[in-house]
A and B are shown apart, each in its own frame.
Chain A
Amino acid sequence: MIVAERKPFEEIKDMLKGYKKVLNVGCGTCVAVCLTGGEKEVEVLNAELDMARKLDENPIELGAITIERQCDREYLEALDDKVGDYEALLSMACGAGIQFLAERFPSKPVLPAVDTTFIGVNQDVGWYEERCRSCSSCVLGWTGGICPVTMCAKGVYNGPCGGTDNGNCEIHQDQPCAWFKIYERLAGQDRLDLIMEYQPIVAWKNQKPRTLMQPGYKKPEEAE
């Protein structure tokens, strides 16, 4: 899922400084799962902002609404008749959702309450880790299911580099060396032959905004 982290409070407060009536829009999917931007987090942030602005003798009126997700127009529809009352929208969704929200209401300032951080996994409640960089050229098939783009600090395809330190990446003792792990995993499956061959230079496919058009589907204006 997409993991996001709430921006520092001061930053959010600063973004809202000129506004007196703001709607805080939460998202019930990815950001709710990672406890950053769901219904509860909207409530907490609103309480914080309310108190902080009162302490500044500059109260703010905050609305709260959490929709299923902000990256799907069918759910954004629910906001259509509500946003008119507000000066600005504060979104707790991931970057994709925030942009869709901004696109739908182009006359309203839309502000991000979160920093979208990574595509990752749920290790335990409150603990999430990055696993994928969406490079569009998945090589997990020959790396034993460990991503060299994401998990190797230098994105090496013919690893490991010379900096492996006791199975850890040179960048930190707590960061395992991805290639050390790939080696272990493949050795355990007796598939080391997969990394014996030189891996040629990658044709990066993530260098411009990407679109996916599923076969059998057309963009609306193309369908008759």
Chain B
Amino acid sequence: MHLLRSIQKGADGVYVVGCLEGTCHYNEGNLRASERVEHVRNLLEEIGLESDRARMYNLSSGEGPTFAAYAKEMTENIRALGPNPLKKWAKV
């Protein structure tokens, strides 16, 4: 719901960052999160938005440079998709 809300309110994109597979402190938290992100991507397709506006990345908390690289990748991804067409509604 949080993911959907952010897009609904006009965010151009949203990305979830989770631990590498097999290293989750809560065992399956990252797997469940990734299933939910996939579900949200499908919902976005369903309503006519690009599924790529929501993404999940996996890495460990120590991987600073990787985090930065992913952030850059996501930013470029979203720039390529263009602004969220719902933004104008959010300003009302």
For residue A54, CB closer than 8 A to chain B, the reply is yes
Residues of B near A51 (CB, < 8 A) are 4, 7-8, 47, 49, 86
Q: Interface on chain B toward A: helix, strand, loop, or mixed SS?
A: helix
Partner of B85, one of A9, A43, A47, A55: A55
The 0/1 profile, CB within 8 Å of B marked 1, for residues 3-20 of chain A is 000000110000000000
Residues of B near A55 (CB, < 8 A) are 47-49, 85-86
B47 in contact with A9 (CB, 8 Å): yes
A105 and B23 CA atoms in complex are apart in Å by: 54
Q: Of residues 45 to 62 in A, which have CB atoms within 8 Å of B's CB atoms?
A: 47-48, 50-52, 54-56, 59
The 0/1 profile, CB within 8 Å of A marked 1, for residues 1-12 of chain B is 100110110000
For residue A40, CB closer than 8 A to chain B, the reply is yes
The 0/1 profile, CB within 8 Å of A marked 1, for residues 33-65 of chain B is 000000000010011110000000000000000
For residue A44, CB closer than 8 A to chain B, the reply is yes
A39 to chain B, nearest CB (A): 11
Q: Which range contains the number of A residues in contact with the other chain? A: 10 to 19
A47 in contact with B46 (CB, 8 Å): no
With contacts A54-B86, A54-B89, A59-B89 known, is A47 near B48, CB below 8 A?
no
Q: Which range contains the number of B residues in contact with the other chain? A: 10 to 19
A9 in contact with B4 (CB, 8 Å): no
Residue of A nearest to B44 (CB): A51
A47 and B47 CA atoms in complex are apart in Å by: 10
Residues of A near B47 (CB, < 8 A) are 9, 48, 51-52, 55
B1 in contact with A40 (CB, 8 Å): yes
Residue of A nearest to B47 (CB): A52
Residues of B near A59 (CB, < 8 A) are 89
Residue of B nearest to A8 (CB): B46
A43, A44, A47 — most chain B CB neighbours (10 Å): A47
Partner of B4, one of A47, A54, A56: A47
A49 and B1 CA atoms in complex are apart in Å by: 14
A48 and B40 CA atoms in complex are apart in Å by: 10
B89 to chain A, nearest CB (A): 5
A55 and B90 CA atoms in complex are apart in Å by: 12
What are 11 inter-chain pairs, A to B, with CB distance below 8 A? Answer: A44-B1, A44-B43, A48-B43, A50-B8, A51-B49, A51-B86, A52-B47, A54-B86, A55-B48, A55-B85, A56-B48
A-B pairs with lowest CB-CB distance, top 3: A52-B47, A9-B46, A47-B4
